[in-house]
Amino acid sequence: MKNDHAADTEHYRRRLEAFLQERHPRLVHARRLIETRSRAAASLYRESVAAGEDTLRAATRADALLYEGLIFSKFDTLCCLLSIDYPLVPPEKQRSLAMELEKRFTGIFDRYNLDDGIYGRAEYRHLLAELSAALRLYLEQHPLPVCRRGRPPHRR
């Protein structure tokens, strides 16, 4: 039984670590957060199943606990804007640029309520518009050397 709990905790730990790596890279070393959340999610799952809940519902509740407050990601939002609006920025550069921009655009992010429900509110569209304008200005002031796909770089 104890081994099952350890396996459940490890399962949730791996899932949270992968999620943080993808959406919140600044938090990948937040050991206390990862341990606390993965243990709590595993406990909730096991308690829910023991109380007679079906496994799908128990897993859904455990996931909600695991990812609470982490659904919105400044980093991921910036990566998406870069990939959609600036497809010539190489994918390997997008992540490092998004990390830099996340810090640079703190003032913009601070004006919004960035909770898990922001995607369903009108303010999300306003945030995206403001970030897009700031990103455009940033890239005008800090041009990135990018090659167009399928063409060799222009040499003089």
Asked if domains 2-67 and 74-141 share a fold, the reply is yes
Nearest to 23 by CA among 62, 67, 86: 67
Token readout for 46 is 């096991």
Question: Can you give the pTM of this predicted structure?
Answer: 0.83
Cα-based distances in Å from 86 to 5, 76, 120, 146 = 45, 15, 25, 10
Rg over CA atoms, the chain: 20
The predicted pLDDT at position 149 comes to: 47
Residues, the chain, total? 156
What are the structural domain ranges in the chain? 2-67, 74-141
Count Cβ atoms below 10 Å from residue 127 Cβ, excluding itself.
Answer: 21
The predicted pLDDT at position 154 comes to: 52
Q: Tell me which architecture the domain covering 2-67 has in CATH.
A: Orthogonal Bundle (1.10)
The predicted pLDDT at position 146 comes to: 55
The predicted pLDDT at position 124 comes to: 97
* DSSP code for 72: S
How far is CA 33 from its chain centroid? 15
Can you give the pLDDT of all 156 residues of the chain as single tens digits? 456 678 899 999 999 999 999 999 999 999 999 999 999 999 999 999 999 999 999 999 999 999 999 999 999 999 999 999 998 888 889 999 999 999 999 999 999 999 999 999 999 999 999 999 999 999 999 887 654 444 455 555
As a whole number of angstroms, the distance between CA 76 and CA 137 comes to 20
Q: Between 1.20.1730.10, 1.10.1530.10, 1.10.8.340, 3.20.20.70, what CATH number should domain 74-141 receive?
A: 1.10.8.340
As a whole number of angstroms, the distance between CA 98 and CA 83 comes to 10
